[in-house]
Amino acid sequence: MPLKLLKYGLARDYPVTGDIPATPDLRKSYDVVIIGGGGHGLACAFYLSKYHGITNVAILEKGYLAGGNTARNTTTIRSNYITPEGIAFYKEGVELYGEMSQELDFNVMFSQRGQLTLAHSETTMRSFHLRAEMGKHMGTRLEVVDQKQVQELCPHLNMDYGGALEILGGLWHEDGGTARHDAVAWGYAAQASRRGVEIHQRTEVESINVNGGRVQSVTTNRGEIACGQVMIACGGANYEVAMKAGVRLPIRCYPLQAMVTQPIKPWLHTLVSSVSLHTYLVQSSRGELVIGGGSDPYQSYSTRSTLDMKEHLAQGAVHMFPFLQNMRLLRQWAGTTDMTPDYSPIMGASPLDNLWLDCGWGTWGFKATPVAGKYMAQTIANGKVPDILRPFGMDRFTSFELLNEMGATAASH
């Protein structure tokens, strides 16, 4: 047995079976070209191949698979939004996470442990009541809790910071949770490529060739490809990629910073966030505390971390849990978020016939990975935007029908 194992290990034709095949040669044309190999693009390819029988699909990724905002987000999954259109959409997103591991035959480690948002003022409490009523009306689990309930849900919280930022209550969202972001992308990639979808990594789109109101072809650093339908889903690069097709998106890019501490014993059993402190915490299954939510106060494409933002996040975390003061930071990073004027995404049609948008995902994209993929696939397959996506169309910025979700997060905006 040991000899056999050694022989197997040293064999030249060691049979490796990978979940995700290596980048193949680029073909001359594809029915669907998806620009951006992150969670959203991969999910769309999966739904196209599994539910719509469209397998002649190429995903073009400038860097490596899911190395952008799919890798940089803080994995919060929730549906405690405020507009009926937003809640309906994100609610289905949360439900799809519930069945994702079975659907993909890949453990995405979905952990629905609930999210607690803290209020330090009466004003915030009033807005929580509004959000809770909207949530209940739309069928999500969302309720306002008082100080005593906050302490029961999260006994470690510092309820009274010298009276300065006393916790008055909270918004308890039992549907909230987390999942392993890499696994979500890999699961979709594995299932999509098994059905014939080609994933082209290190393939950068250099130009998008438009004629007669349609995208005719896409020129990449590996050659030109003709395309039936095209979808743009490339996170922080959406504005620049759409500009290559002459489409000017209502997007401004801001860096969003986050960090993790050294791993410790499990103690934090919910997601905790504070709107006033612009800080949120979650303990990962490895034991690290993921601390997030600092948007830089000015536009930039730089993904360098800044000391003042890290200090701000550390201050917020210590504010809520003073015993964290001696914790060490293990990693810190930033991602480029493509922010829209109303803090809602842009999905659906573009001014070009066969160009579809899955953009403007700002700081809120990860939770929508499955639901955006599902409905964008439906859009591309039928050539028609389904009703659930209609409110998110780019035309809302000319008809002034904005979908304001500004208060829906603890990130600082």
Partner 1 sequence: MKILTCPMNGPRNITEFQYLGPFRAMPDPDDASDTDWAQYLFRAENSRGPVVEWWRHTPSNYVFLAERHLGTGDVIRTFDPSEGRPS
For partner 1, the binding residues (CB under 8 A) are: 239-240, 243, 248, 250-253, 297-302, 304, 306-308, 341, 397-398, 400
Q: How far is the CB of 306 from partner 1 (least distance, A)?
A: 7
Nearer to partner 1, 78 or 312 (CB): 312
Helix 369-382, helix 39-51: angle, nearest 10: 50
State the DSSP string of 247-259.
Answer: ---S-EEEEEEEE
**Which residue is associated with the tokens 């549907």?**
175
Interaxial angle between packed helices 84-98 and 369-382, expressed in degrees from 0 to 180 and rounded to the nearest 10: 100
What DSSP assignment string belongs to 155-214?
A: TT----STTTT---EEEEETT-EE--HHHHHHHHHHHHHHTT-EEETT--EEEEEEETTE
Cβ atoms < 10 Å from Cβ of 311: 11
| Closest distance to partner 1 from the beta carbon of 277 (Å) | 17
Rg of the chain over all Cα atoms, to the nearest angstrom = 22
**Minimum distance of partner 1 from residue 292's CB (angstroms):** 20
Of the pair 92, 240, the CB lying nearest partner 1 is at 240
Pick between residue 194 and residue 310 the one whose CB is nearest to partner 1.
310
Residue with tokens 């934090």: 268
| Least separation in angstroms between CB 313 and partner 1 | 15
Using the minimum distance from each CB to partner 1, give the nearer residue, 148 or 304. Answer: 304
Nearer to partner 1, 161 or 397 (CB): 397
Half-sphere exposure (CA, 13 Å, Cβ side) for 220? Answer: 27
Q: Which is nearer to partner 1, 166 or 240 (CB)?
A: 240
> Minimum Å distance from CB 136 to partner 1?
32
Q: How far is the CB of 63 from partner 1 (least distance, A)?
A: 16
